[in-house]
């Protein structure tokens, strides 16, 4: 059986017209002799609205009831899709997570799919039906409805592709694919034809909000090829696949953050345990620390420590640092409006000189680099936010991403 999983995101089922369009896309695949499994998110805005309602009822809304509530958005969209498929003469029915069943483990709100029962769906496919399955939800060992993390219908699609051994998993969304950088910031951004899981994970967690990061990890572990494409235009999208399927290319994309701040602690006593004492209260207060650098202390006594956080956390962080009795420092410097800009590419593992090219391209535009951090497939620098567009353009050009 040639199975394809087609996943529709919130905007691609965001209105009655769009649901009709989704149904015609599904119909096209059945004509290609595919057995189609459909998985859908809620119509756009619906899940947020349900979350809002739960907050209005209680600021401590019961978590298992939260899952019952917020999973209902998918019930609506799936019934409408099936109804439309019936209308155009196709055999179809909706399936809620527990009806399949899709088994999950872990806490409410952040469950993970561990198993999907196959037989009912396989039988239905063999009988010529199109199952339309609710994304984002499952059932746990206590027979309670669960939801995955927000954006989790991507994970549902990947796991359905895994358990049904699908030939393809296609994610229909409101963009044409994954871009070399954000097209809203830089007009010359180009759609990427193929990208590795590893690069996509970096891009997703650094702000290219095309797919839920956890779902890409699931795809990577299970070697599922994902096609991301537009639900509105019939154009090739981006294939997310294994590294070895990707030809020579040094850099795949440029990503950036827009809401970071930098904190420097000057004259910190340089002795074992200091860094831990600084960061412990921050971690207890869920403050996400990103880039960290510590200077080498010239005299072995005092050093400076710099790190970045989200700008929303500035006040809280400053207070925690000033009230921390376990650390001593001379001064604290806070710089708002910085951006982390990163180049990403598996090609940099084997290509020397990438770091130098990045720094040179920025220096030619007189952009000062404040902090640097690197991983195997990523180089990030911190710059003034005002230079963001200029920096993106310079790097895009240096690594020939518009070609
Ligand atoms: N409807 C859910 C959400 O908004 C799941 C999803 O969109 O993937 O988070
Ligand atoms: Mg989504």
Q: Nearest residue CA, atom 8 of ligand 1?
A: 151
Residue 248 has pLDDT above 90, yes or no: no
d(CA 389, CA 181): 11
**Ligand 1 within 6 A of CB of 97:** no
Q: Residues near 62 by Cβ (< 8 Å), separated by ≥ 6? A: none
CB atoms within 10 A of CB 99: 16
Ligand showing the shortest atom-to-Cα distance for residue 147: 1
pLDDT, tens digit, 9 for 90 and up, residues 61-116? 999 999 999 999 999 999 999 999 999 999 999 999 999 999 999 999 999 999 99
Tallying the residues shown for the chain, one arrives at 403
Q: Nearest residue CA, atom 6 of ligand 1?
A: 151
Mean pLDDT of 241-269: 91
Ligand 1 atom with minimal separation from the 149 CA:
9
Alpha carbons within 13 A on the beta-carbon side of 179: 22
* Band of residue 208 on the pLDDT scale cut at 50, 70, 90: low
Ligand 1 atom with minimal separation from the 9 CA:
7
Please name the helix (run of DSSP H) or strand (run of DSSP E) that holds residue 31, with its range, or none. helix 16-31
**Ligand 1 within 6 A of CB of 41:** yes
pLDDT, tens digit, 9 for 90 and up, residues 36-58? 999 999 999 999 999 999 999 99
Tokens coding 74: 């998918």
**Ligand 1 within 6 A of CB of 11:** no
- Domains of the chain from N-terminus onward: 3-174 (3.40.1160.10), 256-398 (3.30.2130.10)
**Ligand 1 within 6 A of CB of 308:** no
DSSP 42: P
* Band of residue 390 on the pLDDT scale cut at 50, 70, 90: very high
**What is the DSSP annotation of 148-213?**
-STTTHHHHHHHHHHHTT-SEEEEEESSSS-BSS-TTT-TT--B-SEEEHHHHHHHHHTT-TTS-H
Q: Which residue has the tokens 């040179």?
A: 360
CB atoms within 10 A of CB 253: 27
Tokens coding 337: 């409006």
Ligand 1 atom with minimal separation from the 152 CA:
8
d(CA 286, CA 148): 21
Backbone φ, ψ for residue 343 (5° rounding): -110, 140
* Band of residue 246 on the pLDDT scale cut at 50, 70, 90: confident
Percent helix, strand, coil in the chain, to 5, is 40, 25, 35
**Ligand 1 within 6 A of CB of 152:** yes
**Cα 351 to middle of ligand 2, angstroms:** 35
**Ligand 1 within 6 A of CB of 237:** no
**CA dist 256 to 174, 259, 383, 387, Å?**
21, 10, 10, 11
pLDDT, tens digit, 9 for 90 and up, residues 338-377? 999 999 999 898 888 999 999 999 999 999 999 999 999 9
Q: Nearest residue CA, atom 2 of ligand 1?
A: 151
Choosing from 9, 12, 40, 42 the residue with most ligand 1 atoms within 8 A of its CB, the one to mutate for a pocket test is: 42
**What is the DSSP annotation of 250-265?**
S--EEEE-SSEEEEEE
Cis peptide before 101 (omega within 30 of 0): yes
* Band of residue 207 on the pLDDT scale cut at 50, 70, 90: low
Q: Nearest residue CA, atom 7 of ligand 1?
A: 151
The angle at the Cα of 194, spanning 188 to 199, to the nearest 5 degrees, equals 85
**Cα 55 to middle of ligand 1, angstroms:** 17
Ligand 1 atom with minimal separation from the 212 CA:
8
Q: What is the structure's pLDDT at 252?
A: 94
d(CA 353, CA 339): 23
Residue 305 has pLDDT above 70, yes or no: yes
Number of helices and strands in the chain (H, E): 12, 19
**What is the DSSP annotation of 53-64?**
HHHHH-TT--HH
Q: What is the structure's pLDDT at 192?
A: 93
- Of the listed ranges 134-138, 183-187, 370-374, the least confidently predicted one is 183-187
């Amino acid at each position: 059986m040639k199975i394809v999983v087609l996943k529709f995101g919130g905007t691609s089922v965001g209105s009655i017209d769009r649901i009709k369009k989704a149904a015609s896309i599904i119909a096209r695949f059945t004509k290609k002799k595919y057995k189609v499994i459909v998985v859908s998110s809620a119509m756009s805005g619906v899940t947020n609205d349900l979350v809002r309602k739960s907050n209005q009822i209680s600021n401590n809304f019961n978590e298992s009831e939260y899952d019952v509530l917020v999973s209902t958005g998918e019930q609506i969209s799936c019934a409408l899709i099936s109804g439309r498929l019936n209308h155009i003469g196709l055999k179809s029915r909706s399936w809620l997570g527990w009806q399949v069943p899709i088994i999950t483990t872990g806490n409410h709100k952040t469950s993970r799919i561990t198993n999907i029962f196959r037989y009912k769906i396989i039988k239905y496919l063999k009988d010529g039906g199109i199952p339309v399955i609710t994304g984002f939800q499952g059932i746990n060992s206590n027979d309670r409805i669960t939801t995955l993390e927000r954006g989790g219908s991507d994970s549902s699609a990947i796991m359905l592709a895994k358990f049904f051994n699908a030939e393809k998993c296609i994610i229909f969304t409101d963009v044409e694919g994954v871009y070399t950088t954000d097209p809203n910031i830089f007009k010359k951004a180009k759609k990427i034809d193929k990208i590795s899981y590893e690069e996509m994970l970096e891009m997703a967690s650094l702000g290219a909000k095309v797919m839920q990061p956890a779902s890409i990890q699931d795809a990577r572990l299970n070697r599922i090829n994902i096609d991301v494409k537009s639900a509105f235009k019939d154009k090739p999208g981006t294939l997310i696949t294994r590294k070895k399927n990707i030809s020579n290319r040094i850099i795949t994309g440029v990503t950036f953050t827009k809401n970071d701040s930098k904190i420097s602690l000057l004259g910190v006593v340089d002795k074992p345990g200091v860094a831990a004492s600084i960061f412990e209260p921050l971690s207890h207060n869920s403050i996400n620390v990103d880039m960290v650098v510590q200077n080498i202390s010239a005299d072995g006594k005092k050093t400076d420590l710099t790190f970045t956080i989200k700008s929303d956390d500035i006040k809280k962080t400053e207070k925690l640092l000033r009230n921390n009795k376990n650390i001593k420092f001379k001064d604290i410097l806070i710089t708002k409006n910085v951006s982390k800009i990163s180049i990403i590419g598996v090609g940099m593992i084997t290509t020397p000189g990438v770091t130098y090219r990045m720094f040179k391209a920025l220096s030619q535009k007189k952009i000062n680099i404040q902090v640097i951090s690197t991983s195997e497939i990523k180089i990030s620098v911190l710059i003034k936010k005002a230079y963001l567009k200029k920096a993106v353009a310079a790097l895009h050009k240096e690594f020939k991403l518009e070609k």
